Amino acid sequence: MATGNQRIRCNTRLTRCPQKIHLEVIARNEYMNDDKRDPTDCSLFYFALGKVKLVHGLWRQAAWHKEQQIMLKFLSNDFSQPRWKTAALKNAYALLSKQRWGSWATQHGILCFAD
């Protein structure tokens, strides 16, 4: 889990215009990459940009995804509270043990970039 200084350094780096614009383009391209429009492909990028509500909206649109309801319930929590930070950390390590690397990175991104 990122310490306060690491989080500040990350967020400061991403607020500079060129990097932020490039990261937004990457996130949009990852989402639009194929016809499925899978929110798991772009979630980490949007979390790094601090756009948690946008990720929540993308998950609302993904009615076809088997994990939609679980993710909607999970993303509706306030990750600035210690209880939900702990839940996200436990979930991230559970995904890591299942070797679901993309999902793990997304869950870990919630912890690193949540306000």
For residue range 67-110, list pLDDT tens digits in order.
899 889 888 888 889 998 888 778 777 777 777 666 656 665 66
The structural domains of the chain, with segments of one domain joined by +, span 4-113
pLDDT of 103 reads 62
Q: How many CA atoms lie within 13 A of 56 on its CB side?
A: 12
From the number of C-beta atoms within 10 Å of its C-beta (0-12, 13-18, 19+), residue 53 rates as exposed
The 8-class DSSP code of residue 114 comes to: -
With a cut of 60, say whether residue 17 has pLDDT above it: yes
| pTM for this prediction | 0.69
Report percent pLDDT > 90 for the chain: 20
Contact between residue 58 and residue 39 where contact means Cβ atoms under 8 Å apart: yes
Contact between residue 88 and residue 111 where contact means Cβ atoms under 8 Å apart: yes
